[in-house]
Chains A and B, each alone.
Chain A
Amino acid sequence: MRRAVAVAVLMVMVLSSCADPDQKLRSAAAQSARDAASEVRTTQVAVEQLRAHQLWSQSAGQIVGDAEKGVEKATSSFSAQQPSTETSTRLYEQVTKTLDDAQTAVTAVRIALGNGDLAAAEQQLTALRQSGADLGRIGELAK
């Protein structure tokens, strides 16, 4: 009985260590992209509602500040990955760039709202929509 358990544990360990590194990175990329997309779209909704006079500026600033922290978390979580093949290195660079773009856009909105500059925040809407769409596509890479 003990031997069977030991063999089972060993098999699980071997199988998990043999997981396809490209697949592992795709999963991590998809997860981080979905997390970041959620924050980018939250920021987009906040700016659109602010523009429509549906939201107070301090509440919008608060929501966008929280979204910025969320994008940072998703970005740093993905940047800790270790690409080990040429394919995964390419994917790593592409996803990192997309996440960085998203973070830049959300940070720009946070700064604009902090300065009371709604026009500058509205200018980021196109970038936010583009980032959201790009991250959405990466999010579909894996379950």
Chain B
Amino acid sequence: MKKVLGVTLGILTAIGGFVDIGDLVTNALVGARFGMHMAWVVVVGVIGICLYAEMCGRVVAMSGRPVFDLVRERLGPRTGLLTLVASFLVTLLTLIAEIGGVALALELASGVHYLLWMPLAAFAVWLVIWRVKFSRLEQVFGLLGLLLVVFAVALFKLGPDWGQLLHQATRPHPIGHEDWATYAYYGIALFGAAMTPYEVFFFSSGGVEEKWTRKDLVTARSNVFVGFPLGGLLSLAIMGCAAVLFLPAGIKVETLGQVALPVAVALGKLGLAIVLIGVFAATFGAALETALSCGYTIAQYRGWQWGKFVRPREASRFHVVIIVCLVLAMLTLLTAVDPVQVTEYSVVFAAVALPLTYLPILIVANDPDYVGQEKNGPVRNAVGLVYLALLTVASLAAIPLMIITKGGQ
């Protein structure tokens, strides 16, 4: 019974923790501009993150070590450094976007300008990381993030023509004034949002924090294969809400207020309150994960003591990295840069860094020295390679498309 409860809790946490500011903004933006014509990208992205997160979970359960630690050992310091730089910069950019998201959610609820909330948000992230147990912080914000299910309820309440939505979802092409370049650009952004590098680093380091062993493989796999796809459904619900309300009206999503507006239209003030708490939890939880991931990657590459399973004094350099990243995020946002635009760029740059993040994982998951009998089989490797090819194409096309489409305009 205790085990079933643990697995259920893990799944619920994974669903709630799946959506972050990148998913919120990108799915709503894409739904408003392309309807459900890009829903297939979410499906492809979710399958990809499930595939590679499962590999990470297996590596951790079998070796007891996080993936980044093994990447440096297996591929050498130079390749490890390249992976570190690419993944760290993208994770830092994502952290900036998440802190901005927390402040924007608070602004929407209170009417107080987000720049005033932002230092408080960064401080609160640090305080929670410093004081709260790893499992507690993961569960609390993951479960509160489940409130975003309100998007699915709102979608039903908006009373869409389901046949029309399905019709759109099965026809992957640009519509109206949009062209193929913009379609491809946002497709890559959506793919980047679903497969953000920090997710696998956090997942694997979290496995070490929670002391996963071979026995925990079931928990890890259920989190991945049940939790993540259900989280993907939340992403589709956000896209669907925007497709139903905004696409016919010609409204483009450019602010967090617009992301939440369909829920208010469908469910009123109560729905708005729930969605704002959900957005706050999702972005705050993701801010915790990205801040921790910044510390994890650098500390694991450098071979420092890391993690929340030891006292902060024993992992002082790990905590200093987190504090420095939070200060950098705060200073960047204080320049009054638009957090939503930072989010849009962060998911595109995440796509650029994807092959550098996922190739080493594929290599380590095939090494019997680390995973013993649990190394990848031929099917997993074949699908893994197909995804690697996809990730490489997305990575190479992201920047040229950003220039051609003027950032998706």
Using a CB–CB distance below 8 Å, which chain A residues touch chain B? 30-31, 34-35, 37-38, 41-42, 45-46, 49, 53-56, 58-59, 61-63, 66, 70, 136, 139, 143
Known contacts A41-B251, A66-B255, A143-B179; decide if A58 and B265 are in contact (CB<8 Å).
Answer: no
Q: Which residue of A lies closest to B33 (CB)?
A: A38
Assembled-state Cα–Cα distance A61/B265 (Å) = 16
In the assembled complex, which residues on chain A have CB atoms less than 8 Å from the CB atom of B109? 59
How many Å from the CB of B117 to the closest CB on chain A? 12
Q: Is the CB of A42 within 8 A of B111?
A: no
Interface majority SS (helix, strand, loop, mixed), chain B: helix
User: What would 15 more interface pairs be, CB under 8 Å, given A49-B264, A53-B268, A54-B264?
Assistant: A30-B177, A34-B177, A38-B254, A41-B251, A42-B258, A45-B261, A53-B269, A54-B265, A55-B264, A59-B109, A59-B111, A59-B264, A139-B177, A139-B250, A143-B177
In the assembled complex, which residues on chain B have CB atoms less than 8 Å from the CB atom of A42? 251, 258, 261
Tell me, yes or no, whether B367 is within 8 Å of chain A by CB: no
Known contacts A63-B258, A66-B255; decide if A49 and B265 are in contact (CB<8 Å).
Answer: yes
In the assembled complex, which residues on chain B have CB atoms less than 8 Å from the CB atom of A63? 255, 257-258, 261
The 4 closest A-B pairs by CB, nearest first: A58-B111, A63-B257, A38-B252, A54-B268
How many Å from the CB of B181 to the closest CB on chain A? 12
Assembled-state Cα–Cα distance A61/B255 (Å) = 13
In the assembled complex, which residues on chain B have CB atoms less than 8 Å from the CB atom of A53? 268-269
How many Å from the CB of A9 to the closest CB on chain B? 16
Interface majority SS (helix, strand, loop, mixed), chain A: helix
Known contacts A41-B250, A45-B249, A143-B179; decide if A66 and B265 are in contact (CB<8 Å).
Answer: no
Chain B interface: which size bin?
A: 20 to 34
Using a CB–CB distance below 8 Å, which chain B residues touch chain A? 107-111, 177, 179, 245, 249-252, 254-255, 257-258, 260-261, 264-265, 268-269, 272, 409
In the assembled complex, which residues on chain B have CB atoms less than 8 Å from the CB atom of A35? 252
Assembled-state Cα–Cα distance A33/B268 (Å) = 30
Q: Which of A31, A62, A63, A139 has the most CB of B within 10 A?
A: A62
B249, B254, B272: which contacts A41 (Cβ < 8 A)?
Answer: B249
Assembled-state Cα–Cα distance A46/B257 (Å) = 10
Known contacts A34-B177, A53-B268; decide if A62 and B257 are in contact (CB<8 Å).
Answer: yes
Q: Which residue of B lies closest to A140 (CB)?
A: B177
Q: Is the CB of A34 within 8 A of B110?
A: no
In the assembled complex, which residues on chain A have CB atoms less than 8 Å from the CB atom of B251? 38, 41-42, 45
21 A-B Cβ contacts within 8 A? A34-B177, A34-B252, A35-B252, A41-B249, A42-B261, A45-B261, A49-B265, A54-B268, A55-B264, A55-B272, A56-B272, A58-B110, A58-B111, A59-B108, A59-B109, A62-B108, A62-B111, A62-B257, A63-B257, A66-B254, A143-B177
Q: Which residue of A lies closest to B110 (CB)?
A: A58
Assembled-state Cα–Cα distance A66/B251 (Å) = 13
How many Å from the CB of B110 to the closest CB on chain A? 7
Q: Is the CB of B110 within 8 A of A38?
A: no
How many Å from the CB of A2 to the closest CB on chain B? 23
In the assembled complex, which residues on chain A have CB atoms less than 8 Å from the CB atom of B260? 59
How many Å from the CB of A86 to the closest CB on chain B? 27
Q: Is the CB of B177 within 8 A of A66?
A: no
Assembled-state Cα–Cα distance A61/B113 (Å) = 12
In the assembled complex, which residues on chain A have CB atoms less than 8 Å from the CB atom of B252? 34-35, 38
How many Å from the CB of B9 to the closest CB on chain A? 32
Assembled-state Cα–Cα distance A136/B264 (Å) = 25
